[in-house]
Structure 1
Amino acid sequence: MTNIDWDRVSKGVARENKKMIWRPYGIPTVMDLEHSCFHDAPISKPWTEIPEQMIVSVAITGAFFRKDQNPHQPITTEEILASAREAAAAGASAIHIHVRDEDGYNVLSPERFEAVIQPLHEEFPDVPVDACLVPALDGEWEKMSDVLDSGLLDAAPINSTATYIGDSLFVKPTPILLEKTRKILEAGSVPEIAVYTDADVSNADRYLFKSGLFKSGAIWLVLPALPGCSPMENPRQMVAGLTRTVEAIRDVDPEAVIMVCAAGRASTHLATLAAVMGLHIRVGMEDTYYKWPHREDKLTSNLEAFQLAQQLAEVVGRRVATPAETRAIMGLKSRTEAAASR
């Protein structure tokens, strides 16, 4: 243990007359966050990297979670539609759709997609709707094509990835990645680049941007924190991982529109970090069944997930983008204009 020379300390206190050094040159103003008394140039301005509008997309159910993991998980077509309606009515910026079969497994069924999405378009014509179309089984490529050709979708993700997600190997071979992108564009929809690790950003750069298929200003979905994706098992990993991925995207696509998914245990804390960074977010029961990373509380509905996002937007001084504003940010035409151009 270090011994302090208290006699020397006492003499120093006496020499300083028991006072800190204080020279208030700016009197009568002692502290100003915006100006200096020595010149008239501003020293602090509002941050320009934080847009007021924040897209909050709600992903209703996804392909994986079942009712034994979360009893509130929407599974049937009726449950998915009801949950999507609830979120849209509450002011969600956009809706992301998967549909399930009778056994609760993800399915590419044009009929089921239409049963969910068409009523949403009729009731909420401005709300952008995208859907995850991942052809993994025989015949699903043709069904994916049918859904795209139907004009139901405003956008659809493409996954520039090769990774394990949970206990499943998930790989998009490059020819499939390119051809699916072409089909989305031909259908008049907007392709969204879905990345799960920073390596996926490199794949997108090599195959989508350097090929000329994409230009700067693309829509990106960042989906970390699930098993097999960018690890976020603690706050330090979460901050470092998201920052690295976003920086990698900005290097490839300086004008990128980046939406971060509240995924895995990181959940709402990850969405909070994204909101603070000026990014957009996706919440909902597709990507997590946890409300918070440090507790076991489970989401009771997609409406609850959206309401948490509304509170988050208010806390960080932003607001949830309207569906019309979301269309403008994503470069989407109105559904009437899109139908006329097909």
Structure 2
Amino acid sequence: MTDPERRPVAIAVAPNGGRRTQADHPALPLTPAELARVAAECREAGAAMIHTHVRDRDGAHLLDAEAYRAAIAAIRAEVGDDLVLQITSESLGRYRPEEQMAVVRAVRPEAVSLALRELAPDAAAEPAFAEFLSWLKRERIAPQIILYAPEEAVRLAEMQQRGLVPWDEIPVIFVLGRYVAGQTSLPADLLPFLAPDAPRFRSWMVCAFGRHEAACALAAALLGGDVRVGFENNLHLPDGRLAGSNADLVRAVAEPLARTGGRLADAASLRAAWGA
């Protein structure tokens, strides 16, 4: 039985990322058709959002408007508005901040993830980032700020206080770990982001690395957050077996959440929470 007093939890799926290939897992989606099929499977498993990367012809990470448009069209044809569709602006060491922002301006997606450390690495970069955020707000594009450390959360809160962020509340995602070989996150890695003296964000999400991804996600859900899972950061089920699909990783969170009285948010409620 669900508990009506507990807030619904949004599950986002990150099905491919920019690093892994089908040599890592044959079900990792790369083409628009593959992404669309995975989107439908994950929607049925309980996802409310898909976080999408696109690749070039050699399978490398790509920020390209036409490639994004093709992926978005395929996903929308398959699932309609049943998923919030977020693109990434992450550089993976290949793109400058101005190129990252330019692809978002060209695509005009529903939502976009933005790494604070990439787009505003220092004070000199803050004015351009602030102008970009203002453009996002005018265009009604939902941002989600990627925070890799509690210190970045403090900096984002300070930027809000200085008027550089044109929202009173802005969605964030806490990354529990780094993109390095063998990285395995643990639920306790979330605690520094939620320390008593840490900034508070009304809409926060967590992503984690490795086989304890589901445990980290469930901890976040119980503490009031939303969650992101998928092949971008993890290929394994909680018991260590290789997951058969991204949908398996969504179910690894959705099913125990339901068994403990939790409720899943749908795309419409996530859009409302984000003010989109």
Aligned residue in 1 for 2:86: 130
Aligned residue in 1 for 2:48: 93
Does the aligned pair in 2 maintain the 1:209–1:215 contact within 8 Å? no
Q: Structure 1: 5+ residue runs without aligned partners?
A: 1-45, 162-169, 333-342
Q: Distance in 2 between matches of 1:213 and 1:77?
A: 33
Q: Distance in 2 between matches of 1:75 and 1:156?
A: 19
Deviation for aligned residue 1:119: 3.1
Deviation for aligned residue 1:61: 0.8
Q: Distance in 1 between matches of 2:119 and 2:106?
A: 24
The residue correspondences of 1:2-17 to structure 2 (distance < 5 A) are none
Provide TM-score, normalisation by structure 2: 0.83
Deviation for aligned residue 1:141: 4.1
Q: Distance in 1 between matches of 2:21 and 2:262?
A: 33
Report how many residues are paired.
266
Matching of residue 211 in structure 1 with residue 159 in structure 2: no
Aligned residue in 1 for 2:115: 159
Aligned residue in 1 for 2:137: 185
Q: Which amino acid aligns with 1:331?
A: G
Shift in alpha-carbon separation, 1:72–1:138, aligned structure 2, 3 A: closer
Aligned residue in 1 for 2:266: 322
Q: Which amino acid aligns with 1:282?
A: R
Matching of residue 102 in structure 1 with residue 57 in structure 2: yes
Q: Which amino acid aligns with 1:278?
A: G
Structural RMSD (CA):
2.9
Q: In structure 2, which of residues 131, 144, 152 is the aligned counterpart of residue 200 of structure 1?
A: 152
Identity %: 22
Deviation for aligned residue 1:252: 2.5
Q: Which amino acid aligns with 1:71?
A: P
Shift in alpha-carbon separation, 1:300–1:179, aligned structure 2, 3 A: farther
Which one has a bigger Cα radius of gyration? Answer: 1
- Give a deviation string over 1:27-73, Cα, whole Å, max 9, x none: xxxxxxxxxxxxxxxxxxx996x41x111111121111223333332
Aligned residue in 1 for 2:221: 275
Shift in alpha-carbon separation, 1:182–1:263, aligned structure 2, 3 A: farther
Q: Distance in 2 between matches of 1:110 and 1:302?
A: 25
Aligned residue in 2 for 1:258: 204
Provide TM-score, normalisation by structure 1: 0.68
- Give a deviation string over 1:250-275, Cα, whole Å, max 9, x none: 8423x521111143343111111112
Matching of residue 305 in structure 1 with residue 252 in structure 2: no
Q: In structure 1, which of residues 247, 250, 256 is the aligned counterpart of residue 195 of structure 2?
A: 247
Q: Distance in 2 between matches of 1:98 and 1:206?
A: 30
Shift in alpha-carbon separation, 1:273–1:201, aligned structure 2, 3 A: same
Aligned residue in 2 for 1:25: none
Shift in alpha-carbon separation, 1:300–1:137, aligned structure 2, 3 A: same
Does the aligned pair in 1 maintain the 2:52–2:85 contact within 8 Å? yes
The residue correspondences of 1:1-150 to structure 2 (distance < 5 A) are 50-51=6-7, 53-122=8-77, 123-135=79-91, 137=94, 141-142=98-99, 144-150=101-107
Aligned residue in 1 for 2:178: 226
Q: In structure 1, which of residues 141, 159, 173 is the aligned counterpart of residue 121 of structure 2?
A: 173
Deviation for aligned residue 1:227: 4.7
Q: Distance in 2 between matches of 1:209 and 1:244?
A: 21
Aligned partner of residue 317 in structure 1, secondary structure: coil
Larger mean CA deviation between 266-275 and 123-132 belongs to 123-132
Does the aligned pair in 2 maintain the 1:76–1:101 contact within 8 Å? no
Larger RCO of the pair (alpha carbons < 8 Å, separation 6+): 2
Q: Which amino acid aligns with 2:202?
A: A
Q: Distance in 1 between matches of 2:258 and 2:227?
A: 14
- Give a deviation string over 1:53-100, Cα, whole Å, max 9, x none: 111111121111223333332223332222123223444211111111
Does the aligned pair in 1 maintain the 2:12–2:47 contact within 8 Å? yes
Aligned partner of residue 218 in structure 1, secondary structure: coil
Does the aligned pair in 1 maintain the 2:32–2:74 contact within 8 Å? no
Q: Which amino acid aligns with 2:102?
A: S
